[in-house]
């Protein structure tokens, strides 16, 4: 369980509350009305991080029409025109279009997310249930139901989910939380959240260190009480090699009483898949990229190590043993389930499972 604080969150959060406005523009275009940007937006760089949300929730449906002159002059239902010489086809991966691997966490704070959640989950790297803002947009009694549904769908889609806002609010002023707040944090963990987040408690609170320690204690105790994974959850429609390999690794680790599941990862994708299956053994992610190692802290049950970049399976095994024996994670004769991809270090090519006994080089 990851614990995030307002002062150390290292990823970019894009507000999903633009979804409604973008949907309205798309709907108008389908009916033949051209949706134009204000003149003050002319020349604005919509490829910058703060404006990438402009692309997030324009849904691809039927092709639209409109002039391509100017900057963001026309929003159609399948294409966002930025300039006359720069057209983005939303059917293409937007990160490839903008040559960026910047992770996007959608902040869910509007009533529209209920109907649009599957589409949002397919486009982002994580979601945050912003319960404070959400409670303004929907009846308060609906917030717990939406939180549970977001966690359920995010787990099914193998997308990390953060639960935030007023989790230990009373610790802004007091050294101990209320019993209700403790139960709230534990409930989010029981439901399957990957991370819980502190906001005012650590940003302006009088006891920031004690608050983090308290949340860690609650998380550790709640996870100790959680039952082991039983029947596998329903499979998502898009079920490919990486998902199958991750599920097989979790099952094999349980049957072999493995010491750990080890994932070599280029982007964190492989570790994310394993994390969402909630195995009852530690997950160790190995990556040569410091920025990826930092992001891995968000995923449930994942600890990470920086390693050198290897090119062959033999080198991979040597690196696993050198790293994990060196820090005391494993000992000789421990069983490891190692997953990787071929070719090595290519995102999304997870297709290899290897069972290895530490010290056995046969």
Give me the CATH number covering residue 207: 3.20.20
Q: Are residues 285 and 192 in the same domain?
A: no
198-254 residue pLDDT tens: 999 999 999 999 999 999 999 999 988 887 654 455 555 567 888 889 999 999 999
The answer to whether residues 150 and 129 touch, using CB atoms and an 8 Å cutoff, is yes
Tell me if 206 is assigned to some domain: yes
| Beta bridge partners of residue 263, listed in sequence order | 285, 339
Tell me if 19 is assigned to some domain: yes
Tell me if 233 is assigned to some domain: no
Q: Are residues 216 and 245 in the same domain?
A: no
pLDDT at 83 over 70: no
Q: Burial-class residue 75 by CB neighbours within 10 Å (0-12, 13-18, 19+).
A: buried
Q: Are residues 255 and 204 in the same domain?
A: no
Residue 29 pLDDT class (50, 70, 90 cuts): very low
Q: Within a 13 Å sphere around the CA of 14, how many CA atoms are in the beta-carbon half?
A: 22
Q: Are residues 167 and 137 in the same domain?
A: yes
- Residues 6+ positions from 47 with CB-CB distance below 8 Å: 82, 98
Phi and psi at 345, nearest 5°, equal 60, 30
Last residue of a domain, one of 190, 225, 260: 225
Which DSSP state fits 48?
Answer: S
Residue 88 pLDDT class (50, 70, 90 cuts): very low
Query: Of how many residues is the chain composed?
Result: 362
Q: Are residues 70 and 128 in the same domain?
A: yes
Q: Are residues 213 and 271 in the same domain?
A: no
pLDDT at 90 over 70: no
Q: Are residues 323 and 258 in the same domain?
A: yes
Residue 342 pLDDT class (50, 70, 90 cuts): confident
Percent of the chain surpassing pLDDT 90: 44
Q: Are residues 214 and 108 in the same domain?
A: yes
pLDDT at 69 over 70: no
Tell me if 276 is assigned to some domain: yes
- Mean pLDDT, the chain, rounded, equals 75
pLDDT at 131 over 50: yes
| 359/362 Cα distance (integer angstroms) | 9
156-195 residue pLDDT tens: 888 999 999 999 999 999 999 999 999 999 999 999 999 9
Q: Which of 54-68, 74-88, 152-166, 344-358 has the highest mean pLDDT?
A: 152-166
| 3/14 Cα distance (integer angstroms) | 19
pLDDT at residue 233 in the model: 57
Which DSSP state fits 222?
Answer: H
Percent of the chain surpassing pLDDT 70: 68
Range of the domain at 320: 241-357
Tell me if 362 is assigned to some domain: no
Instruction: Choose among 313, 316, 239: nearest CA to 276.
Output: 239
Check residues 213 and 348 and name the one with the higher pLDDT.
213
Q: State mean pLDDT over 39-59.
A: 40
Q: Are residues 203 and 275 in the same domain?
A: no
The answer to whether residues 271 and 265 touch, using CB atoms and an 8 Å cutoff, is yes
The angle at the Cα of 33, spanning 29 to 39, to the nearest 5 degrees, equals: 95
| 124/103 Cα distance (integer angstroms) | 8
Tell me if 234 is assigned to some domain: no
241-288 residue pLDDT tens: 888 899 999 999 999 999 999 999 988 888 999 998 889 899 999 999
Q: Are residues 160 and 47 in the same domain?
A: yes
Helical pair 143-156 and 179-191, crossing angle rounded to 10 deg? 30
CATH number, domain of 250, equals 3.40.1380.20
| 184/168 Cα distance (integer angstroms) | 9
Last residue of a domain, one of 175, 190, 225: 225
| 280/243 Cα distance (integer angstroms) | 18
pLDDT at 67 over 60: no
3-state SS record for 276-332: HCCCCCCEEEEECCHHHHHHHHHCCCEEEEECCCCCCHHHHHHHHHHHHHHCCCCCC
User: Which tokens go with 118?
Assistant: 């599957």
Tell me if 230 is assigned to some domain: no
Last residue of a domain, one of 165, 190, 225: 225
Q: Structurally, how many domains does the chain consist of?
A: 2
| 285/289 Cα distance (integer angstroms) | 11
Q: Are residues 172 and 261 in the same domain?
A: no
Q: Are residues 143 and 276 in the same domain?
A: no
The answer to whether residues 97 and 88 touch, using CB atoms and an 8 Å cutoff, is yes
pLDDT at residue 269 in the model: 87
pLDDT at residue 153 in the model: 93
pLDDT at 53 over 80: no
Instruction: Choose among 197, 186, 187: nearest CA to 132.
Output: 197
Tell me if 231 is assigned to some domain: no
């Amino acid at each position: 369980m990851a614990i995030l604080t307002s002062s150390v969150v290292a990823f970019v959060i894009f507000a999903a509350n633009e979804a409604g406005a973008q949907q309205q523009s798309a709907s108008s275009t389908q009916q033949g009305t051209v949706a134009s940007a204000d003149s003050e937006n002319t020349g604005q760089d919509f490829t910058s991080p703060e404006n990438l949300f402009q692309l997030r929730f324009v849904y691809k449906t039927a092709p639209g029409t409109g002039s391509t002159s100017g900057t963001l002059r026309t929003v159609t239902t399948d294409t966002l025109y930025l300039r006359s010489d720069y057209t983005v086809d939303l059917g293409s991966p937007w990160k490839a279009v903008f040559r960026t691997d910047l992770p996007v966490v959608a902040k869910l704070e509007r009533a529209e997310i209920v109907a649009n959640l599957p589409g949002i989950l397919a486009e982002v790297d994580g979601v945050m249930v912003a319960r404070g803002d959400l409670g303004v947009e929907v009846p308060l009694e609906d917030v717990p139901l939406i939180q549970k549904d977001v966690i359920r769908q995010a787990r099914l889609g193998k997308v990390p989910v953060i639960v935030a806002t007023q989790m230990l609010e009373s610790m802004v002023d007091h050294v101990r939380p209320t019993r209700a707040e403790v139960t709230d944090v534990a409930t989010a963990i029981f439901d399957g959240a990957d991370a819980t987040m502190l906001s005012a408690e650590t940003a302006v609170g009088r006891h920031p260190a004690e608050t983090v320690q308290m949340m860690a204690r609650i998380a550790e105790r709640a996870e100790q009480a959680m039952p082991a994974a039983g029947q596998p959850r329903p499979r998502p429609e898009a079920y490919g090699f990486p998902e199958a390999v991750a599920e097989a690794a979790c099952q094999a680790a349980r049957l072999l009483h493995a010491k750990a599941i080890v994932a070599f990862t280029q982007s964190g994708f492989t570790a994310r898949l394993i994390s969402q299956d909630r195995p009852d053994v530690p997950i160790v992610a190995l990556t040569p990229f410091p920025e990826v190692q930092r992001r891995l802290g968000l995923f449930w049950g994942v600890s990470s190590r920086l390693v050198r970049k290897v090119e062959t399976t033999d080198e991979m095994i040597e690196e696993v043993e050198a790293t994990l024996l060196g820090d005391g994670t494993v000992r000789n004769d421990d069983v490891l389930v190692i997953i990787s991809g071929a070719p090595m270090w290519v995102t999304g090519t997870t297709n290899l499972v290897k069972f290895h006994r530490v010290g056995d080089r046969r």
